[in-house]
Amino acid sequence: MAPITQDRPERPPEVGAVFDAVVVGAGFAGMYMLHRLRGLGFSARVYEAGGGVGGTWYWNRYPGARCDVESMQYSFSFSEELDQQWDWSEKYAPQPEILAYANHVADRFDLRRHIRFDTRVTAATFDDTAKSWRIETDRGDHVTAKFCIMAVGCLSAANRPPFRGREEFRGPIYHTGEWPHEGVDFTGLRVGVIGTGSSAIQSIPIIAQQASALTVFQRTATYSVPAWNEKLTPEYRKTIKADYPALRAKARARPTGFYFPFNMKPALEATPTERERQYQEAWERGGLPFLGAYGDLLFEKAANDTIAEFARRKIRELVKDPTTAELLCPDNVFGCKRLCVDTGYFETYNLPHVKLVDVSKTPIERFTAQGIEVDGVEYPLDAIVCATGFAAMTGSYDRMRITGRDGATLAEKWRAGPRAYLGVASTGFPNLFTITGPGSPSVLASMIQAIEQHVDWMVDCMAHMRDTGAATVEPIQHYEDEWVEHVNEVSKVSLRSTCSSWYVGANIPGRPRVFVPYIGGFPVYVQKCNEVMTNGFEGFIVEGADARNEAPRVRLTERWRVPLDIDVISPAAIAARRVPVV
């Protein structure tokens, strides 16, 4: 695998230091957590494996990387000044701009001096006597903290399938999620891309512009909707900024945590002509909101079939060669795997030097010195791009040794599927918080919103413990069990639970099939978190000194008191938990 070239500056290990909190990861989650902790006077150390802040946007530097939630919403909402000062240049900002934003936030809120970069946390162990966590890193750091906060991301552990013969291939092998910082020039090269998920779909059109030949190895065809990305005008930005808080509030009231026009009417109640018009209009608006064309698309297979057929028709129109077009047509549920958003993806297959190889029935056999072999045919290549995704949701947890009470490890506890109460904490692991952890909306919401809500809730909890002198907080087993069961039950109402996606861990061989994120909708979840807190941390044991499960002095969680947007979501839909998600 081509290495990421980055210097790892020397520094002495930090041994024996004591903090109120250690935070693992300096993506948006770790950064906001640090900001809030510092604001409340907690001492904190952040460890980050990368050489800078930004997480996802630090690592994923592949050509074409950009967000697919509109930038004016895919950004922090906690600071009105920040919202007013920062100008996004495009509807969907490119990776360098999002990384620049992360760096701006780090500077503006003076975060860097609390972060140790190029440092991977290898182990975290709870000391039941001291009621604190011992944290170890690959740089020899040994520190302790009352709270250990995992801000390790849901899509941060690259998935590198163990293709046979990998070592034999003579050219470089790249992974989209660990892209070289100096960039890659594919000019004149024969390039192979493995995968057709979001990362592949964004990078393929750009790689095709440089490569002399591009071969895409597709295991599962993917639905993708045009982004219609564009430059943002000063007038547009001004209109949003005139009442940014209103947009943020509307976003929080949506199941997705971001705002877009949504039609709750069921597709099956519309006539074919109405549906065609509606889908065409939604296609012309583009992006993830395409799924908002009707309210029942992710709940009724017959409704889903109508949008799937529309999307397949678009592929057949866009791709000139009928055989390639058919291969590119997915046959699974529309939106079941994460919907992709593209710029010129399908059209790329009309270029004479771009070829699609179906590996659905005959998998990639092996890498050879000269290329990739499938079904006895060798495809000659100079470079390979693995756009093979991530060990999603829990991959970064698996890569650490996390030991709770009585020597139990998190890996053992989560072997049959991750278990956490509200996705924020796990029984047996006191004072360990998991930002956007399993069983929370996380990847099914606009993630920066999900991060802010989790951090605010956790920080309120920590401040409450300081107010009352409490030593530990830990979920009660049966509350956790009930929540895990609820997350599982709710997932069954959605067609999303039916396909082999990374939401259910199906992209990693051997993982248990469990629908990991909470699909009940962001505001429904937020309301539950608020109730738990104001009921005195119902479902948690708060122990030590003067500790008691009493209603806390709420510091910031109040801003999350938002109703569901019932203009577009009917009470019946809520009752049936048929809340649309993307």
The binding site for ligand NAP (CB under 6 A) comprises 67-68, 155, 161, 176, 194-200, 202, 217, 219-220, 338, 341, 359, 364, 387-390, 443, 502, 507
| Nearer of residues 259 and 310 to ligand FAD, judged by Cβ | 259
| Nearer of residues 30 and 395 to ligand NAP, judged by Cβ | 395
Contact 283, 253 (CB under 8 A): no
| Mutual angle of helices 522-534 and 447-468, in 10-degree steps | 0
Question: Which residues, at least 6 apart from 308, have a Cβ–Cβ distance to it below 8 Å?
Answer: 223, 330, 333, 334
The item of ligand FAD, ligand NAP, none sharing an interface with residue 161, based on CB under 5 to 8 Å by kind, is ligand NAP
The item of ligand FAD, ligand NAP, none sharing an interface with residue 143, based on CB under 5 to 8 Å by kind, is none
Distance CA 142, CA 155 (A): 27
Helix (H) or strand (E) holding 33: helix 28-39
The item of ligand FAD, ligand NAP, none sharing an interface with residue 211, based on CB under 5 to 8 Å by kind, is none
The secondary structure of residue 66, as a DSSP letter, is B
**Cα–Cα distances in Å, from 309 out to 75, 275, 279, 315?**
34, 11, 11, 10
| Nearer of residues 19 and 92 to ligand NAP, judged by Cβ | 92
Closest CA to 340 of 463, 195, 211: 195
Query: Integer distance in angstroms from the first to the last C-alpha of the chain?
Result: 33
- Site residues (CB under 6 A) for ligand FAD? 24-30, 47-50, 55-56, 58, 60, 65, 67-69, 74, 120-121, 151-153, 155-156, 199, 396, 400, 436, 446-447, 451
| Nearer of residues 15 and 242 to ligand FAD, judged by Cβ | 15
The item of ligand FAD, ligand NAP, none sharing an interface with residue 507, based on CB under 5 to 8 Å by kind, is ligand NAP
**Cα–Cα distances in Å, from 563 out to 147, 289, 440?**
31, 21, 18
Q: Rounded to an integer, what is the distance from CA 68 to the centroid of its chain?
A: 11
The item of ligand FAD, ligand NAP, none sharing an interface with residue 446, based on CB under 5 to 8 Å by kind, is ligand FAD
Distance CA 456, CA 448 (A): 12
Question: Which residues, at least 6 apart from 84, have a Cβ–Cβ distance to it below 8 Å?
Answer: 241, 244
Nearest distance from residue 390's CB to ligand FAD, in Å?
Answer: 7
The item of ligand NAP, ligand FAD, none sharing an interface with residue 387, based on CB under 5 to 8 Å by kind, is ligand NAP
| Nearer of residues 400 and 447 to ligand NAP, judged by Cβ | 447
Nearest distance from residue 74's CB to ligand NAP, in Å?
Answer: 9
The item of ligand NAP, ligand FAD, none sharing an interface with residue 502, based on CB under 5 to 8 Å by kind, is ligand NAP
| Nearer of residues 92 and 560 to ligand NAP, judged by Cβ | 92
| Nearer of residues 67 and 568 to ligand FAD, judged by Cβ | 67
